[in-house]
């Protein structure tokens, strides 16, 4: 009985891993299949990499409250573009895509208030409002709103794999002497 449960668990884990890999590829190639999203996604991705290159070169510099504040406002601007997308495509009704946008606006508003009023410790607030978390969250929302990728555990796994890939690329950038 225990070996049957173990083999079922291993088999399901392998199926889930394969589904996550396919979803990761779907997420990664979404801008190719839906070029309209490039107008909002490319500036986010470029910003992530340029800021990482900057902080790799100037290691002694740290994020400031003003930069953290600006990063959190980006979430609200992205949400506005996502609302525009839904409106222009006649999709502005109560659905998962609208919920993603509402959550992005709430997150952006909370981070903006935290950064504006310095409500949390500098280290914690800067961790939440740095380029990678804010732009990655914005990119996830873009993917979920512009595509028909379902919001499920497989997508969560695919997004985690994307985050891991970005973290590795950023670590490589950080290790390169500029």
Reported as a single tens digit per residue, the pLDDT across 27-73 is 999 999 999 999 999 998 898 888 888 888 888 888 899 989 999 99
Per the CB < 8 A criterion, the answer to whether 79 and 105 are in contact is: yes
The mean of the pLDDT values for the chain is 90
On the question of pLDDT at 148 being above 60, the answer is: yes
25: Cα within 13 Å, side-chain hemisphere: 5
Domain count, the chain: 1
Across the range 90-94, mean pLDDT stands at 83
> What pLDDT score was predicted for residue 93?
81
Domain range spanning residue 35? 2-175
On the question of pLDDT at 158 being above 90, the answer is: yes
Per the CB < 8 A criterion, the answer to whether 174 and 127 are in contact is: no
Calpha distance 127→136 (Å, rounded):
13
Query: Which pTM does this prediction carry?
Result: 0.88
């Amino acid at each position: 009985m225990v070996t049957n449960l173990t083999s079922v668990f291993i088999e399901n884990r392998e199926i889930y891993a394969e589904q996550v890999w396919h979803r990761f590829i779907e997420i990664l190639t979404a801008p190719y299949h839906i070029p309209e999203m490039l107008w909002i996604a490319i500036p986010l991705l470029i910003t992530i990499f340029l800021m990482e290159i900057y902080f790799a070169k100037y290691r002694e510099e740290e994020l400031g409250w003003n930069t953290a504040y600006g990063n959190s406002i980006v979430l609200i601007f992205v949400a506005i573009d996502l609302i525009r997308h839904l409106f222009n495509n006649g999709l502005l009704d109560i659905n998962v895509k609208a919920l993603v946008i509402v959550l992005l606006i709430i997150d952006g508003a909370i981070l903006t208030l935290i950064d504006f009023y310095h409500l949390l410790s500098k280290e914690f607030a800067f961790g939440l409002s740095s380029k990678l978390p804010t732009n990655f969250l914005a990119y996830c929302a873009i993917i979920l709103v512009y595509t028909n990728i379902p919001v499920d555990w497989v997508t969560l796994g695919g997004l985690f794999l994307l985050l891991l890939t970005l973290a590795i690329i950023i670590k490589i950038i950080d290790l390169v002497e500029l």
